[in-house]
Chains A and B, each alone.
Chain A
Amino acid sequence: MSKVAAKAATPLLQVSDLSCVFDVSKPWLNRLIEREPKQFLRAVDNVSFEIRKGETLALVGESGSGKSTIAKMLVGLLDPSEGTILFDGEPMITHSSDRMTELRKRFQMIFQSPYASLNPRWKVADVIAEPMIVLGVEKDSAKIQARVDELLDLVSLSAADGSKFPHEFSGGQRQRIAIARALSSSPEFIVCDEPTSALDVSVQAQILNLMRDLQDQLGLTYLFISHDLSVVRHMANRIGVLYLGALVEISDSKELFRAPQHPYTRMLLDAVPDLEMTGRKRKEVEGEIPNPINPPSGCTFHPRCPFANERCRREVPRWTRTKTGVAACHGVEESRIPETEMAR
């Protein structure tokens, strides 16, 4: 293989056996009095995936399944407890170093809460320009100003909005500011944590179309987190489904909706509300999300799974190839889960 081909074949992002464990013990004195041991929460459990250049991988899963925690580890806001992250073949180390600053220029994150991520005391123009300045992408102040105006226009705000403060904007407008900020240093890879959940559908359509256009023009790569499956379907090439911190299925996006394999994926799809009002009753998701501090044995989904058997309660399922990707499920491996062609 030539060197060029080898380079092209390297995924932009390679995540291997990534875990994140939080210490959620009560204070030392309480533990002593109540005789409780230390408690740990495995927010992310042995997650591995790759993202190729120019691709969008989406992560879906119930609230608390570890999506934001993965996102934070990818951009270096949180240290992984175990596992490695390779960006363009290079290991990411969160400690600041020159090498890391160079890498940092190449990715950005759009946060789940646009409020928390915008400094309230800064004018919008400064908020947007910050990544450009801090990362040294652009030094000329006239050029910075021009770029800020261009970005504001890109997200359907106007240059005059640059001199206002974040609190003067509605929730959706603030999210657009956050998107402009993420784009300002011209990153190659953007981690988007619920980028449009604060937006009304017509602005959401504008932003999502914009993100796709930018991807086509600039070859951007996205990790896209959203709870809205119709948005995910529209944006992603591939989808990873998370349950209690672990990936349970990775599949081509269109195929996942047509023929979901893992029982949890099926349950998620059945719970999508019916807007066409066809009379299809939204199926209640059965059972509760278990306590992540003390997760169930074997397959962690077994208490809620209609196909669970003895083996599921005992053994942690391993990855199995499916027709559409991979899934971690004994039932799928044993081909005992009935086919469902989703009528979509």
Chain B
Amino acid sequence: MPTPLLSVRDLVIEFPTRHGPLTAVDGVSFDLAAGEVLGVVGESGAGKSLTGSAIIGLLDPPGHIASGEIYLKGKRIDNLRAEDMRAIRGRHIGMVFQDPLTSLNPLYTIADQLIETIRTHLRLSEREARQRAIGLLDDVGIPAASRRIDDYPHQFSGGMRQRVVIALALAAEPELVIADEPTTALDVSVQAQIIDVLKEQCTQHGASVILITHDMGVIAETADRVAVMYSGRIAEIGPVREIIQNAKHPYTSGLMGSIPTLAQEEDRLVQIPGSMPRLSDIPPGCPFNPRCEKVFDKCRVQRPSLIPVENRQVACWLYEDTGTSEVAT
């Protein structure tokens, strides 16, 4: 098997508190092949953004990696010195943060910021960099890019700023793009355009993408595989089509059921009863057990790890002995 582009092994992220550490990400492992798009979905607060920030080495203190390893092309990167990591960031890994404003400096024009990023990583003249910057803005669908590039961030709409941040992340053609909710504030037509830009990075430059989003439509269209997170752990991971059409983990089923559709006639949306446990009181056993319809005794005492089922993995005791067969519902 070829070395995966990215390999995350047993990642644990903690926040120290007066009452001991809070574990926000607890034993997350996955591989990402070159050219692959991995979708990450899950409950708000499940640890999706933290996982992304850990990979790019930008966890906000006091949050830190308590254990586990991260490899980029076989080379360990979670223990690099700050300056070595800085060289990897931007050039090899690009990140689109959930909050587009934090990545943009309000005091500089869009042109200043794009050109600086491009010239830090690529040997281009000011003029060439400006051309490339305009091209990138065109790609992400900013109308009249050559004129609006000299605007300041506050002169752009919410969705336009989000697209500038995507352009920034792609500026140096990184091999891995981590996109945290890149299309949430965007309408469907721009969404399609952004997805095309991301996909093009994969097909033309062989880049891999980790796409964190709650938008299942976007995942369905873009991702090869999808990881479903709950309470800092992966609940289920596998090919996107199979998970959307036939969820195995009870949390995934609930998640799929809550998606509003255009066809729906009922007035109330389906919601999973209860809410995700707080970090300070994650129950023993399976973290989903207080909300799970199929809970049984073992779920309350023993924590399920990822069990291979068909060509995916599911962290749920229902699949313990079944290996590959369907469980009676």
Contact = CB atoms under 8 A, between A and B. Distances in A.
B259 A289 contact: no
Nearest to A199: B44
Contacts of A227: 159, 185-188, 191
A68 B141 CA distance: 19
Interface stretch (A98-106, A134-142, A168-176): A168-176
A268 B216 CA distance: 18
Nearest to A67: B157
A273 B259 CA distance: 13
A64 B275 contact: no
B158 interface: yes
A63 B261 contact: no
Given A205-B270, A208-B269, A230-B260, A63 B41 contact: no
B217 interface: yes
Contacts of A201: 214, 216, 255, 258-260
Interface stretch (B82-90, B93-101, B115-123): B93-101
Contacts of B10: none
A311 interface: no
B218 interface: yes
Contacts of A8: none
Nearest to B157: A64
Contacts of B267: 212, 234
Interface in B16-48: 41-46, 48
A198 interface: yes
B158 A202 contact: no
B258 A204 contact: yes
Interface residues of A, number: 66
Interface residues of B: mostly helix, strand, loop or mixed? loop
A234 to B, nearest CB: 5
Interface string B141-184: 10110010011000111111001000000000000000001001
Given A201-B216, A202-B254, A234 B188 contact: no
A55 interface: no
Nearest to A173: B45
Interface residues of B, number: 63
B259 A62 contact: no
B43 A202 contact: yes
B141 A288 contact: yes
Interface string B239-279: 00100110000000011001111111001111110010010
Given A203-B43, A288-B143, A63 B262 contact: no
Contacts of B189: 62, 267-268, 271, 285
Contacts of A291: 143-144, 147
A276 interface: yes
A282 interface: yes
Nearest to B145: A291
A48 interface: no
Contacts of B151: 24
B197 interface: no
Given A171-B181, A291-B143, A344 B262 contact: yes
A17 to B, nearest CB: 22
Residue among B48, B187, B263, B272 with the highest chain A CB neighbour number at 10 A: B187
A60 B187 contact: yes
B275 A156 contact: yes
Nearest to A60: B187
Given A63-B187, A199-B214, A171 B99 contact: yes
Given A63-B157, A113-B99, A284-B192, A289 B269 contact: no
B310 interface: no
Interface in B181-227: 181, 184-192, 214, 216-218, 220-221
B329 interface: no
A68 B157 contact: yes
Interface string A140-173: 0000000000000000101010000001011111
B321 interface: no
B60 interface: yes
B102 interface: yes
B231 interface: no
B214 A204 contact: yes
A172 B50 CA distance: 13
A61 B101 CA distance: 22
Interface of B: 41-46, 48-49, 60, 98-102, 141, 143-144, 147, 150-151, 155-160, 163, 181, 184-192, 214, 216-218, 220-221, 241, 244-245, 254-255, 258-264, 267-272, 275, 278
29 contacts: A62-B187, A63-B157, A63-B158, A64-B157, A169-B45, A170-B48, A173-B45, A198-B98, A199-B214, A200-B43, A200-B214, A201-B216, A202-B255, A205-B270, A205-B271, A208-B260, A209-B268, A227-B187, A230-B264, A234-B260, A271-B188, A273-B192, A273-B218, A275-B220, A277-B245, A288-B141, A288-B143, A291-B144, A344-B262
Interface of A: 22, 24, 26, 60-64, 68-69, 112-113, 115-116, 156, 158, 160, 167, 169-173, 176, 193-194, 197-206, 208-209, 212, 227, 229-231, 233-234, 257, 267-268, 271-277, 282, 284-285, 288-294, 344
Given A172-B214, A201-B216, A227-B188, 13 more contacts: A61-B187, A115-B99, A115-B102, A173-B45, A194-B185, A198-B98, A201-B258, A202-B272, A208-B269, A227-B185, A274-B220, A277-B220, A344-B263
